Chains A and B, each alone.
Chain A
Amino acid sequence: MGRRRKGISSESITLAVFCSLQIGIMGVFTVLRPSFLSGDNLLGLLNLMAQMALVGLGLTFVAVTGYADMSFHFVSCLGGMTMSYMIARGMAPPGAILIGCAAGGFFGAVNGFMVGKFRLPDMVATLGLGAIAFGMAYLYSGGTQIYDNFADSGIKLLYKARIAGVPLPVVLMVIAYAIGFTVLDRSALGRRFYAIGSNATAARFSGVRVERYIVAAFVICAVMACLTNIIRMSSLAKGEIEAGLDWLMPAYSAVFVGVSVFKKPTVVGTFLGALLIGTVQKGFMALGKPTYVMELVMGVLLIVSIVVSRIDFKEIVRRRRLRAKIASGGGAS
């Protein structure tokens, strides 16, 4: 009995708390709206969380290496507008999407070089580059929305297409997470990212090419943000500059809800975070609440998850046992 108790780690207790939180929230919404658990609605939930999950996955890589990226949402504006401009010029959607993501990747690489190679402070440097990217996003249209060719170029399929009944963004999310999980959690490559995050100097002396991995992390982050914003624009059916600005919060929320479960940034954690936030958002949408309520909900969820992760459940259980022991022991003697 004692041995088994030792086997339960604090981590698994937190995980259990989060799973029960997730199930509890779903339960509440099911009671309020019985249709919440229907297949269509659950698919809608996955579709809603797919975008948040994709941008969060990119940010996870940067978070794992121990840096902060304050530019990916600005860069995603540029990526999205680049794509819109290419579509308006009559390019085929796959090419436009690739160029949009490549533009983002370039800025990610510059971020990585500034932070990894030249050791500039991460927040200022990335914010500066973000401001540049945001300004450049205006170059295509001077600030107006881009509608041309969106209706008949097929770019809307990126959001609308279904593969065997599953929306394309969800398929993309599953593929991206499968790759992300394999790379970060199941390969030597991923261990090196984590090594840099825990001690960059030690990683360098162990023969890890630190700069390369940092550049890679920032590139992945920027490309995923651009891809997400491109999906968003295809769902809006227009190129809208400020659309990308909304990604900062969901991405950090998803990653850090995950951090509060596993105590470090992980692919699975980010997925759980996106799932939790997505569930609550979908629930409020089902109840007919306006979108700005989501901001509030996301903030509250992030804080709740941080606070929960800081509570040491093991310690509480131990103390309660101790108290019970003292009480019963006192009664016997």
Chain B
Amino acid sequence: MKRMVGSLFRPQYVLVWVFLAMVVLFCVEAPSFRSASNLIRAVKSSSVIAVMVLGLTWIVASGEIDVSFPSVAGLASVVMALAIENGVPWALAPFIAIAAGSVFGLLNGFLIATFRCPSLIATIAIGSIAMGAACIIAGGYAPVRLTSTVGVIKTLGSGGMGVQLAWIAIVLGVYLAFKYIQDHTTTGQHLYALGENRQASLEAGIREKKIIISFFSLSAMLASCGGVVWVLFYAQGVPRMKGTVFIDGMTAVFLGALVVKAGKPNVIGTFIGAIFLAVLTNGLTPIGLEDYIGSIIKGALMIFGVVVIAISRYRVAKKASTAAR
């Protein structure tokens, strides 16, 4: 029993405690936080971010980085919005948008795997191309608004609690599928092997190029899905996503890395991270704090997270060295 209680305070659960404390604080301090409309808003923003950075999670886990996801999501949202505006049936538009976004992921993977380009640089370059392309087809930086929100889009965008719960269920389903791949297949093993030691995994015969290209394509595809969801929720395509989308996405992944597998990005962690961020963002206004305080808290949490991981690794290493003696 004592051991079980002790295990709850291990570093990988610190974030969960912070999260619970935050929820309790918001509920007590601000009754409006508990209102249905606020919860719906939280669910909306968390599912957009959660979908957008699901692929990024694996990329970071394999030791690479993808900073192009906000631009790719923006491009997909613009393509989707314009397609609907120009009379493409709503069931077809998402596929066009996702295909358009995925091309950039393929390019990312190709540059990184074939030309051995650092992933930060490649994704910065591809991200700027995606953003430029989105602005060109949108005709400027201004968002493309849907003039008439009909049928499914209207239901999804302004539906009640039931629709939102269905949404969260879908997103959770996707995450569980990804968790299965991550924890129970060789692909998942290869992923963490690449992150642990690139050279060793190459020698062991992991086909790095194939994995890298498919991961970056997957990441862009999921980022595009995020863009599509954005259009469904907010009825507009945004060529230039705000700086906060980038911070939120990265924070979800890096905070998520703290949970479950202490220090390694994993899909369940990212899901928790995304919900965490949504609750934080939607709880600040009801308790009377400005939005930008959220950015400061996110940054502080990120640094806090890295420090916790660094300390726990240091302790493990110390324990191992004393045991060896």
Contacts and interface: CB of A to CB of B under 8 A. Distances in A.
Contacts of B300: 128, 132
B279 interface: no
A270 to B, nearest CB: 14
Nearest to A251: B124
Given A295-B128, A299-B127, A252 B306 contact: no
A302 B299 contact: no
A142 B290 contact: yes
Q: Which 7 A-B pairs have the closest CB atoms?
A: A296-B132, A131-B299, A135-B295, A128-B302, A292-B135, A138-B292, A132-B299
Interface in A231-252: 242, 245, 248-249, 252
Contact of B65 (A123, A125, A134, A307): A123
Interface in B164-199: none
B116 A310 contact: yes
Interface stretch (A28-36, A96-104, A112-120, A179-187): A112-120
A292 B298 contact: no
A24 interface: no
B128 A299 contact: yes
A157 B310 CA distance: 47
Interface residues of B, number: 48
A263 B182 CA distance: 36
Contacts of A70: 67
A52 interface: no
B306 A300 contact: no
B141 interface: yes
A127 interface: yes
Interface string B120-155: 111011111111110110001100000000000000
Contacts of A124: 254, 302, 305-306
11 contacts: A119-B310, A120-B307, A128-B300, A131-B299, A142-B290, A142-B292, A249-B127, A296-B128, A296-B133, A297-B132, A310-B115
Give the size range of A's interface with the partner. 35 or more
Interface of A: 68, 70, 74, 114, 118-121, 123-125, 127-139, 142-143, 242, 245, 248-249, 252-253, 256, 290, 292-300, 302-303, 306-307, 310
Contact of A252 (B115, B124, B136, B291): B124
B316 interface: no
Is chain B's interface secondary structure helix, strand, loop, or mixed overall?
helix
Contact of A138 (B116, B130, B290): B290
Given A131-B298, A290-B140, A306-B125, A68 B120 contact: yes
Nearest to A311: B115
Contacts, number: 149
B217 interface: no
B213 to A, nearest CB: 16
B294 interface: yes
B99 interface: no
Contacts of A68: 120
Contacts of B116: 310
A292 B140 contact: yes
A303 B302 contact: no
Nearest to B304: A128
B140 A306 contact: no
A120 B310 contact: yes
Identify which of B111, B127, B129, B303 gathers the most chain A CB atoms within 10 Å of its CB.
B303
Given A127-B254, A131-B302, A134-B247, A306 B122 contact: yes
